């Protein structure tokens, strides 16, 4: 039985975990581990010392050296349950183990000369807590690896310990925290946890009892959430590589789920409010937050509906707006816009009371709530600025009037033809010769087909790009050939929707006459 129990420790270095666990159960607030090498004797000496309550002779005889004699089975304030922790020290195959301890005024030394057989000595000097020394012959070449594995093992299993754990004088304890753009700390009965959003399909997690690792890794135990939880509800299995799934386990998970649907919501709202004030500087942080929020909300459709009327989405000129408002605006517009920078386009849309989301990741959250086309505003919306009268060439009225006559042949009614600057900040239409707008000053939606034909219903304006090569060449000839200039510019406009042959014939006939 002893050999089988020793063999269960697939990594012999996990004896550190078992000894530190026993020290914590003994009430020690500090455990010091020293690992040193005696070059002359070619042996490693490991010392694990604590300041716990120590042991009596009875405890040594009936519990330390007897398998399955734990008194902690029903005590949720203790970690160990199975009474086999000290046995693990023999998995490393020591040459000798010396344990000094004492309680109630009597102090003892227990010597294990490489086996479970032991010698018990009464000490004359007092001993605080329990000190365990392990001696093992080891070639000098193997010492660096032994030292590294010792520190790595303690750091992995005891890094989040509530008891201070040091290795060769260096403290190994870490803060209970997660890598997340938005996280909260929650507390429950015998439980402390940190939970945060995560865009990773297999988020990091960790489960601990009094800070000793029970299980940690990457898995979608709670989709969209990364967490670390210390809880008395969690217990390790006999093999120490998993947690027992029982009623108490589900109580611990319920604490995490409660945080995901309550405290995390408030933290998310506060983070968005803070970011809205810092945009565009905080855009990268916002994108990361929204990507994580998508995974968090996707796993909780009811929570998404609960948040529908709460102002959460950062926009360029409308502040924070709710999902429900964006949905209704998107229905009327036929699209929902986002952009990475503010500029003339976002300002033009704002004048029409159409919100533009900050960043692209926000659209992925919105997509969970409503099905709409999503466009980057600067890529599908244009707002060229008409030139001032002082910037227009002489006799421009004559060219404009001729163009209106040509376009009227195609049943296109115009309120005017204007030269405009297409090269505004963030423009996507620098290369276009012309563009139509339904109403003066209104942004033009490039994703809507047949924009020129729409002018048969609304007498909008035709805007000509005053920097385009075609426009420059035409204007260069307008004094000598005003009709050819007007014809060329009108044809360029009508070609946007395809120019019927009969219309072109009518235009040529008028030009020739």
Tell me if 352 is assigned to some domain: yes
pLDDT of residue 80: 44
Q: Where are the alpha helices (DSSP H) in 159-282?
A: 247-261, 263-278
Residues 25 and 164 in one domain: yes
Domain end residue (candidates: 259, 292, 309): 259
Structural contact between residues 429 and 435, judged by C-beta atoms closer than 8 angstroms: yes
Residues 206 and 245 in one domain: yes
Residue 178 domain flag? no
CATH number of domain containing 474: 1.20.120
DSSP codes joined into one string, 338-350:
EESS-SHHHHHHH
Burial annotation 249-269 (CB, 10 A radius, 16+ → b, else e): bebbbebbeebbeeebbebbb
316 and 302 in one domain?
yes
What is the span of the domain harbouring residue 452?
Answer: 385-512
Is 366 within a domain?
A: yes
Which carries the bigger pLDDT value, residue 179 or residue 477?
A: 179
- Determine what percent of the chain is predicted with pLDDT higher than 70: 91
Give yes or no: residues 343 and 455 share one domain.
no
490-500 b/e with 16+ CB inside 10 Å = b?
bbbbbebbebe
Same domain, residue pair 157 and 219: no
Domain with residue 134: its CATH number is 3.30.565.10
Say what the pTM is. Answer: 0.81
Same domain assignment for residues 292 and 314: yes
State which H helix or E strand residue 123 sits in.
strand 119-123
Domain boundary among 381, 399, 419: 381
Contacts of residue 292, Cβ cutoff 8 Å, sequence gap at least 6: 180, 181, 182, 196, 197, 198, 199, 224
Confidence at residue 6, expressed as pLDDT on a 0 to 100 scale:
57
The number of CA neighbours under 13 Å toward the Cβ of 105 is 0
Residues 195 and 321 in one domain: no
Counted residue by residue, the chain has a size of 513
Does any domain span residue 176?
A: no
Q: Does residue 455 share a domain with residue 403?
A: yes
Q: State the average pLDDT over residues 248-273.
A: 95
Burial, 164: exposed, middle or buried (Cβ in 10 Å; 0-12, 13-18, 19+)?
A: middle
Q: How is residue 388 annotated by DSSP?
A: P
Q: Is residue 371 part of a domain?
A: yes
Beta-carbon contacts of 305 under 8 Å, excluding residues fewer than 6 positions away, are none
Cα separation, 67 vs 19, whole angstroms: 15
- Say if residue 15 is in the same domain as residue 51: yes
The predicted structure's pLDDT at residue 78: 41
With bands split at pLDDT 50, 70 and 90, how would you rate the model's confidence at 298?
very high
Residue 401 and residue 506 in one domain: yes
Question: Which of 348, 381, 414 is the last residue in one of the domains?
Answer: 381
What is the spatial distance between Cα 490 and Cα 507, in angstroms, rounded to a whole number? Answer: 9
Burial 54-81 (b: 16+ CB within 10 A, else e): bbbbebbeebbbeeeebebeeeeebbbb
Do both 289 and 362 map to the same domain?
yes
pLDDT in tens, 104-131: 999 999 999 977 788 999 999 999 999 9
pLDDT at residue 226 above 90? yes
Q: How many domains does the chain have?
A: 4
Chain centroid, CA 308 distance in Å:
21
Same domain, 165 and 43: yes
User: Is 250 within the bounds of a domain?
Assistant: yes
The helix/strand/coil state of 179 is coil
Q: What is the pLDDT of residues 187-222, one digit of tens each?
A: 988 999 999 999 999 999 999 988 889 999 999 999
Mean pLDDT of the region 462-470: 91
Q: Please give the average per-residue pLDDT across 475-503, as a whole number.
A: 83
């Amino acid at each position: 039985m002893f050999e089988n129990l020793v063999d269960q420790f697939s990594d012999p270095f996990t004896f550190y975990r078992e000894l530190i666990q026993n020290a914590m159960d003994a009430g020690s607030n500090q455990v010091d581990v020293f690992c040193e090498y005696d070059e002359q004797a070619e042996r490693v000496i490991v010392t694990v010392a604590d300041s716990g309550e120590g042991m009596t002779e009875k405890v040594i005889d009936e519990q330390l050296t007897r398998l399955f004699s734990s008194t902690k089975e029903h005590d949720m304030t203790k970690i160990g349950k199975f009474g086999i922790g000290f046995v693990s020290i023999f998995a490393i195959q020591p040459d000798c183990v010396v344990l000094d301890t004492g309680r109630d005024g009597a102090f003892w030394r227990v010597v294990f000369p490489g086996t479970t057989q032991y010698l018990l000595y009464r000490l004359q000097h007092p001993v605080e807590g329990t000190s365990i020394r392990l001696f093992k012959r080891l070639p000098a070449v193997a010492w660096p690896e032994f030292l590294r594995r010792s520190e790595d093992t303690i750091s992995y299993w005891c890094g989040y310990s509530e008891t201070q754990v040091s290795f060769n004088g260096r403290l190994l304890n870490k803060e209970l925290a997660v890598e997340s753009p938005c996280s909260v700390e929650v507390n429950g009965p015998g439980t402390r946890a940190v939970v945060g959003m995560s865009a990773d399909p297999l988020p990091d997690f960790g489960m601990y009892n009094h800070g000793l690792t029970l299980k940690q890794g990457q898995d979608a135990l709670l989709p969209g959430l990364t967490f670390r939880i210390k809880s008395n509800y969690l217990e390790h299995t006999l093999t120490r590589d998993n947690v027992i799934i029982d009623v108490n386990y589900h109580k611990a998970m319920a604490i995490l789920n409660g945080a995901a649907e309550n405290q995390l919501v408030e933290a998310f709202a506060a983070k968005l409010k803070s970011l809205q004030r810092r945009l565009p500087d905080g855009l990268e942080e916002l994108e990361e937050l929204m990507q994580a929020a998508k995974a968090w909300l996707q796993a909780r459709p009811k929570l998404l509906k609960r948040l529908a009327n709460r102002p959460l989405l950062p926009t360029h000129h409308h502040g924070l707006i709710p999902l429900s408002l964006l949905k209704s605006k998107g229905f009327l517009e036929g699209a929902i816009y986002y952009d990475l920078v503010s500029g003339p386009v976002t300002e033009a849309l704002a004048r029409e009371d159409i919100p533009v989301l900050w960043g692209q990741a926000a659209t992925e959250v919105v997509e969970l709530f409503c099905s709409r086309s999503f466009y980057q505003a600067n890529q599908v919306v244009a707002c060229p600025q008409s030139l001032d009268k002082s910037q227009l060439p002489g006799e421009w009225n004559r060219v404009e009037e001729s163009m209106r006559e040509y376009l009227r042949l195609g049943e296109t009614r115009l309120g005017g033809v204007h030269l405009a600057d297409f090269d505004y900040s963030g423009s996507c239409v620098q290369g276009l010769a012309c563009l139509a707008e339904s109403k003066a000053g209104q942004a033009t939606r490039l994703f809507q087909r047949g924009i020129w034909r729409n002018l048969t219903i609304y007498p909008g304006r035709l805007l000509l790009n005053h920097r385009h090569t075609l426009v420059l060449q035409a204007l260069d000839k307008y004094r000598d050939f005003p009709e050819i200039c007007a014809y060329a510019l009108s044809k360029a406009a009508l070609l946007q929707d395809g120019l019927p042959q009969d219309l072109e014939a009518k235009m040529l006939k008028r030009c020739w006459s």
